[in-house]
Amino acid sequence: MTTAPLDKSSPLKRSLSDRAGLSHTAVFWIVFCLVMAALIAAPLILSEFWRRLLTEILIWGLLAMSSDLLIGYTGMVSFGHSAFFGLGMYGAAGALLLVNPPNLWLAILAGLAGAAGAALFVAYFSTRLRDIYFAITTLIFSQIFYVIIFTWTSVTGGENGLIFTRPHLAIPFLYNARFTSTTMHWFVLAIVAASYLVLRRVTQSPFGMVLQSIRENEPRTRAIGYRVERFKMVAVMLSGLFAGLAGALYAIQNEFAAPDFVYFLTSGETVIYNVMGGVGTLVGPIVGAGFFHLMREFLSRLFGDQFPYLIPLGIIFIVMIIFLPQGIMGFARRWLNE
């Protein structure tokens, strides 16, 4: 995968900081706070429908961001993120159904545990392989989980999935109330923002640098003395954990877990978000998810609910791969720089 140059000194930040005489970090935090402020204020302005959509976009963005760690930073295209997402979903669902009264944090922990299990399995087997072989095996692994979830009706509810009620938003000793769509949005936003900062820190850490060097030249990284397989395994695990977090959030927001989300299409859409938004940028995938879902909404308003929105979006996707491999963020960065 040809990716944008490393994120360390983005032209956008450089040109802005040169003009204002600020350091890169300061510009980053200013932009980050502005975006956060906009997203915090958004639910107060938007109607119920758009508020829900925005929350969902954030969740899909988290899923896409988690797979960007593999696609953009390690150079491994995963077609199996639906497994982690789905296991996160079913993990959260299990905790909410079994524990009484349902506990929000327990649900998230269970979701993470479920995704970690799946990620361990996938990481162990598929990191031996590279490039397209990795893509194909992750796809097939996600189908294994799909078949198991789909056919194990007594535990997973089979085709119908699981339905449960949303837990209270409970911060121990401080706050305990039902979720409203606004607090749900803030809760999701907080988790997504925290995940973004963690992932950004990871990609800038020595560990992240090794991942990027695997992407650039795997044999050389191995020759230098890094245990490439271990780094890849940890990368897949980490990516799977964040995908599972997204799954748990999705389950809590929508109060159900369904096998459809473990199906391969979810993985495919995750890859689409990444390519549309721009791989290797972390923010790009969120932008891509937003673009995808807004386009979908726009198309179904324009042509009706039955309109096969994936046809125009698929064509846009192909065109972007050919002409705009850096995605929206890469394009915006280049354009702002000129």
Partner 1 sequence: MGAIGQILHAIPVDLLIIQTVNGIVAGMILALVASGLTLIFGIMDVVNFAHGELFMLGAYLGFVVFVTTGSFWLALIGSSLIVAILGAAMQIVALRPLIGRDPLNTILATFGISLVLQNYALWQFGPVVRKIPEPIGSQFTLFYLQYPWYRILVAVLSAAIIGAFWLFLKYGKFGIWIRATAQDRTMAQAMGIPVPLVYTGVFAIGAAMAAASGVLFAPMVGVSHTMGLDWILKAFIVVVVGGMGNFVGSIAAAIFISLVESYAAIWLDPSQAVIVSFVILIMTLLFRPTGLFVTPR
Which residues contact partner 1 (rule: CB under 8 A)? 1-2, 77, 125-126, 128-129, 131-133, 135-137, 139-141, 143-144, 147-148, 150-151, 264, 268, 271-272, 275, 308, 310-311, 313-315, 317-318, 321-322, 325
Q: Report long-range pairs for 304-307 (Cβ below 8 Å, ≥24 apart).
A: none
d(CA 156, CA 153): 5
Minimum gap (Å) between residue 335 Cβ and partner 1: 22
CA–centroid distance for 154 within its chain: 30
Q: Which of 31, 24, 22 minimizes the C-alpha distance to 329?
A: 31
Nearer to partner 1, 196 or 317 (CB): 317
Closest CB 205 distance from partner 1, rounded Å: 25
Helix or strand holding residue 73 (H, E)? none
H or E segment and range at residue 334: helix 327-337
Alpha carbon of residue 108 to chain centroid: 16
CB of 152 to partner 1, least distance (A): 9
| 92 or 329: CB nearest partner 1 | 329
Q: Residue 226 — left, alpha, or beta (φ > 0 → left; ψ -120 to 50 → alpha)? A: beta
| Residue 173 or 323 with smaller CB distance to partner 1 | 323
Helix-strand-coil percent breakdown of the chain, rounded to 5? 75, 5, 20
Q: Which is nearer to partner 1, 164 or 317 (CB)?
A: 317
Among 78, 76, 64, 77, CA closest to 214: 76
Minimum gap (Å) between residue 3 Cβ and partner 1: 10
Token representation of residue 138? 């992750």
- For 270, the token pair is 């995750």
Minimum distance from CB of 45 to partner 1 (Å)?
Answer: 34
Cβ proximity to partner 1: between 196 and 261 the closer is 261
Whether 274 contacts 320, CB under 8 Å: no
Residue 303 falls in which region: left (phi positive, over 0), alpha (psi -120 to 50) or beta: alpha
Question: Shortest gap between Cβ of 108 and partner 1 (angstroms)?
Answer: 29
What is the closest distance, in whole angstroms, from the C-beta atom of residue 130 to partner 1 in the complex? 10
Nearest residue (CB) to partner 1, 3 versus 17: 3
User: Toward partner 1, which CB reaches closer, 106 or 140?
Assistant: 140
Tell me how far apart the 2 most distant CA atoms of the chain are, in Å: 63
